Amino acid sequence: MLLEGKKILVTGGTGSLGKTLVYRLLTGEMGMPKEVIVFSRDEAKQHEMRLEWKHLSQATDDVAYRGAHDLLRFQVGDVRNYNSLKRAMRGVDVVFNAAALKQVPTCEYFPMEAVETNIYGPHNLVRTILDSENPPQLVVGISTDKACKPINVMGMTKSLQERILIQANLETDKTKFMCVRYGNVVASRGSVVPLFQEQIRKGGPITITLKEMTRFLLTLDQAVDTIFAAVNTGKRGETYIPQCPSAFMTDIAKLMIGDQKIAIEYTGIRPGEKIHEILVSEEECFRTVQRGNYYAIQSVLPELREQKDEKGGPEKEYSSGNHTIDIDSLANLLRRAGFLT
């Protein structure tokens, strides 16, 4: 069990993915960790998560003052701040970097804020590791399909996060750096599916930018499965990709509307938005291999690529426009995610 007895840090641990990752870690399915530290800048979300973990409706002195001795710990801080990150990293064995600014329009209007979190944050993480006498054994950076052939600020900054973390393998042999890259998590904050749900609750209309729009879809647990697959079988410098279906946004909307009289309104493409997302680019195909239900993209840096007989990577660009599923399969996926009965 690879994470048995490990001290684990999850940056951005109060986000949708971060929370699911933390709770999966605490089940012990990858080995029972010694300690899991949630590191984020939102004290309110940390407080809610602490109460949820304790199965309490309100805080008590025991939670507020003696919670530092629990298996699950919380630390307020920001990946933008080198010193607070360095403090959180003391004695840590494994880091999952889920801290991010991830809303595409927000990043377009506040690009330097995205740079601070999505680029300087990983840079600070690497700095703390290179400055440490006892660095972690493993770092996994959480990326996005928008980092592949990026056209928006969010994707550009996440693409640079991948390169910063992958290149760090050349700086030290004490820490293994890897990344995972996946598509639209259907239940995450800001995802289109919860947005559709809220629009339906209010009586509509559902807003879609273009009829042709497609997105890769996976559940929060499938996103965590991808992270665990990387931990289990990933090699230094690789980026793990789930093989997952995609769907037309119009199909999702129609399924969620059902028999209700709710209109669909087409609003036009938003700043920085793609029509189709890409998980593996045409340029990456030649250095991508298949492992089970995942693709592993080997590093762009030849020094980190292992010459082995692994095969099975995509023959062409892995685009959401080429992997759309039928209505019945889409309905099953939405039911598993809790958005259809």
pLDDT at 339 (0 to 100)? 82
Query: Quick one: what percent of the chain has pLDDT higher than 70?
Result: 94
For this structure, is 146 an active site residue?
Answer: yes
Look at residue 81 and give its three-state secondary structure.
coil
What span, in angstroms and rounded, lies between the C-alpha atoms of 165 and 123?
8
Query: For residue 315, is pLDDT > 90?
Result: no
For residue range 198-208, what is the model confidence (pLDDT) as tens digits?
A: 999 999 899 99
Average pLDDT, integer, range 290-313: 86
Query: Quick one: what percent of the chain has pLDDT higher than 90?
Result: 76
pLDDT band at 334 (very low <50, low <70, confident <90, very high): confident
326: number of Cβ within 10 Å: 10
pLDDT band at 67 (very low <50, low <70, confident <90, very high): very low
pLDDT at 227 (0 to 100)? 98
Within 185-245, residue ranges assigned H as helices are 192-201, 220-233
Query: For residue 56, is pLDDT > 70?
Result: no
Query: For residue 52, is pLDDT > 60?
Result: yes
What span, in angstroms and rounded, lies between the C-alpha atoms of 297 and 200?
39
Query: Of the ranges 44-53, 114-123, 158-167, 174-183, which one carries the lowest mean pLDDT score?
Result: 44-53
Query: For residue 307, is pLDDT > 50?
Result: yes
For residue range 31-43, what is the model confidence (pLDDT) as tens digits?
A: 999 999 999 999 9
DSSP 248: E
pLDDT at 68 (0 to 100)? 47
pLDDT band at 269 (very low <50, low <70, confident <90, very high): confident
Residue with tokens 């949708």: 16
pLDDT at 14 (0 to 100)? 94
Query: For residue 259, is pLDDT > 80?
Result: yes
Query: For residue 272, is pLDDT > 90?
Result: no
Query: For residue 129, is pLDDT > 60?
Result: yes
Per the model's pLDDT, the better-predicted residue between 244 and 341 turns out to be: 244
What span, in angstroms and rounded, lies between the C-alpha atoms of 143 and 137?
20
Domain annotation for the chain: domains and CATH numbers: 7-183+219-243+279-314 (3.40.50.720)
Query: Of the ranges 4-18, 45-59, 298-312, which one carries the lowest mean pLDDT score?
Result: 45-59
pLDDT at 89 (0 to 100)? 96
What span, in angstroms and rounded, lies between the C-alpha atoms of 204 and 254?
12
Sheet strands side by side (includes 72-76): 72-76, 35-40, 7-11, 94-97, 138-144, 176-182, 239-242, 294-297, 288-291
pLDDT at 53 (0 to 100)? 83
Annotated catalytic residue within 6, 7, 102, 146: 146
Average pLDDT, integer, range 85-103: 96
pLDDT at 257 (0 to 100)? 93
For residue range 178-203, what is the model confidence (pLDDT) as tens digits?
A: 999 998 888 776 678 888 989 999 99
Average pLDDT, integer, range 238-265: 93
Query: For residue 69, is pLDDT > 60?
Result: no
Query: Which residue pairs, CB below 8 angstroms and at least 24 apart, start in 111-115?
Result: 111/153, 114/153, 114/154, 114/157, 115/157
Specify the pTM: 0.92
